[in-house]
Copies of this chain bind each other. A is one copy, B any other.
């Protein structure tokens, strides 16, 4: 009953099989191998765009490196105040950008409203006394598991572009967003105005596989230097590529995300039947933010359920429960059984 995060899950068998399958004979190092070439092509095909694609090992590296190609060291990145780049990456964006500033914006459920964005941009009127706003960074699904539609992304991207900003999308959970949306990968990214995407697989069944995808290929000009300099150029690149090839084969990555989302919906529905339980945000992807009465929380903890106590209040706990490709209905039912018994 471990719902702490989606990154506690193991590697999906098909992806692990692809890794072991790649383990034969010599291969040119540093991404000069055939698998890497194929993975890059496959990602271009997936997004229906002749993008520049670079494989790295972590989402933090993908986000920070992507931003470093989008802003100057004296630049500003507008993002939600609770965005991963602002609160959970220990200043990696500041390191890789050479000290650019993240400008935090408020917003419900990890979303930013176009009005909030416009107001903030309107305050940059002091020239060189302020940093130069050069990028907007969005997250889909958001830190609160909220799914943004192509229309929502497009409205924000249009406002950003109108002010000369580039648009970055943190897609650590892009699969979960797509599984919830009725649209193509292209529609929720470059067709909506996204210039650079951090495309994450690790939370969705991979071992350590993330891609920085430049739809605005001009920004990728010298990115190979940035990736190498960041210690993110693996000498044995074939093993990163194999993960992408397996995940993208027959839409496995979307099936895994759909399953994770379904498990979250089932778990949330079950919990909502209990008295005193209240959702903090609608469950749209694979994350549940829910207020639990303390006695219920204590009983679940005692029973061995693991999840993240997002915020502790007097009589309730705001808990975060995350499901993944590896979450089973048994896991869900087991937790619900304990919950019902406790309620």
Contact = CB atoms under 8 A, between A and B. Distances in A.
Contacts of A38: none
A117 interface: no
A301 to B, nearest CB: 16
A203 B30 CA distance: 13
Interface string A2-38: 1011011111010010011011111111100000000
B28 A10 contact: no
Interface stretch (A40-48, A57-65, A160-168, A269-277): A57-65
A30 B58 CA distance: 11
A114 interface: no
B233 A60 contact: yes
Interface in A200-248: 202-203, 207-208, 222, 224-236, 239
A210 B57 CA distance: 14
B235 A202 contact: yes
Copies of chain A in the complex? 4
Interface in A104-143: 104, 126-132
Contacts of A231: 56-58, 60-62, 64-65, 89, 92, 96, 230, 232
Contacts of A60: 228, 231, 233
A75 to B, nearest CB: 8
B233 A88 contact: no
Nearest to A76: B91
A176 to B, nearest CB: 16
A90 interface: yes
Nearest to A84: B129
A74 B222 contact: yes
A73 interface: yes
Interface of A: 2, 4-5, 7-11, 13, 16, 19-20, 22-30, 56-62, 64-65, 72-74, 87-92, 94-96, 98-102, 104, 126-132, 202-203, 207-208, 222, 224-236, 239, 326
Q: Which 3 A-B pairs have the closest CB atoms?
A: A61-B231, A94-B99, A98-B98
